[in-house]
Amino acid sequence: MNWPCRPLCACALPDIQREVDNPVIKELDRKIRDVKKRIERQRDARERAEKKGRKSALARIKGKLVYLNRKMKQLKEAKGKEPEKVLLYQIIQEKGIERIKPEKKLYFDWLKMSALWSRKRIVDIVKPYYQDLRDVEKFVDGILQSRTYVRTSDGVMYVEFPDQHSRQKQEALQRLCEELNERGTIDIGLSIRKLVFSVR
């Protein structure tokens, strides 16, 4: 589905002239945290090397700390030069982002809601196999992020989940597949008419 697009116009979209947190600062903060962790690891390594009297290791660690401290200083200086707030319009222009038209936004909102509803339905299906809701959430997230094996044949898409290591997970996943397979034919505007789920 294609929607006609028009060039971005600040006067037509006054809301994008509002100020927002500077994304550059956010990225610099992320890098600063990463370098800080690396410095802490090197300091721990230096302490261990000092206790064991490993001079060659100490020399290497010292070199790494000099580099990391210099990197930290550069990042903090760069952060100090950035404004805390910037115009949303400026970010959109610099990144070449095109404003989503209302009908597009509605479509993407519908996709998000469908995904949330689907996840909730999966939780409801496998919930009887777990006593703790946190275990249910962990299992569902694992399934949604796991590798699946997909093949198509004569308008049918076969989706295979990897075999589970515990009996509880295996039974929950098999029940999920049975429930999904009861949906029958589908109509999503593609050549696929049916989805078949199973566990390897």
- Rounded to two decimals, the pTM is 0.43
Q: Measured between alpha carbons, how far is 118 from 108 in angstroms, rounded to an integer?
A: 15
Go through 15-40 and write b for each residue having 16 or more CB atoms within 10 A of its CB, e for each that does not: ebeeeeebeebeebeeebeebeebbe
pLDDT of residue 163: 84
pLDDT of residue 111: 66
What average pLDDT score do residues 53-71 get?
Answer: 90
Instruction: List, for residues 89-104, the tens digit of each pLDDT value.
Output: 666 666 554 555 565 6
CA distances to 44, 67, 68, 86, 179 from 74, in Å = 23, 11, 10, 22, 56
Q: Is the pLDDT of residue 7 over 60?
A: no
Residue ranges per domain, the chain? 14-95, 102-199
Q: Measured between alpha carbons, how far is 111 from 107 in angstroms, rounded to an integer?
A: 6
pLDDT of residue 104: 60
Q: Measured between alpha carbons, how far is 69 from 79 in angstroms, rounded to an integer?
A: 15
Q: Which residue has the higher pLDDT, 111 or 149?
A: 149
Evaluate whether 162 touches 200 at the Cβ level (below 8 Å).
yes
What average pLDDT score do residues 66-82 get?
Answer: 92
pLDDT of residue 176: 87
Instruction: List, for residues 9-52, the tens digit of each pLDDT value.
Output: 333 344 445 777 888 888 999 999 999 999 999 999 999 988 88
